[in-house]
Amino acid sequence: QTTTITTTEDHNYVVGQEVRLLIPSSFGSYQLNETKGYILSIPALDQFELDINTTMNIDAFISSSATTVAQCLAIGDVNSGQTNTGRTNNLTFVPGSFINISPL
């Protein structure tokens, strides 16, 4: 079983990438909060399919005007790319980007 996520903007994720859902209770589907999954397909620029089963005991997702929004965050393990070149071409890396710092 899988689930399809639709985002408000284009997401730039790729097939095989791992993501985590952050869903406040005001949006429903709070049972999926802190759930991790892998992207199986990308049917549209603002959609992706995850390997998360949402067929049992999951409330429907609802729109909310809450100040804390529902999010989907990429989980990364290795990033060897630099974030800037600077005037002296120093290599600057994102702190923690070389290990999976996910709390779960």
Q: What's the one-letter identity of residue 54?
A: T
- Write down the pLDDT at residue 59: 85
Token pair recorded at residue 31: 């049972």
- Return per-residue pLDDT of the chain as tens, 104 residues: 899 999 888 888 888 888 899 998 888 888 999 999 999 999 999 999 999 988 888 888 888 787 788 888 888 655 555 555 555 555 555 544 445 545 55
pLDDT at 42: 94
Contact by Cβ (8 Å): 7, 19: no
Q: What is the DSSP letter of 69?
A: P
* DSSP 8-class letter at 39: E
pLDDT the model gives residue 46: 92
The percent of the chain in helix, strand and coil, each rounded to the nearest 5, is: 5, 25, 70
Per DSSP, helices labelled H in 28-72 are none
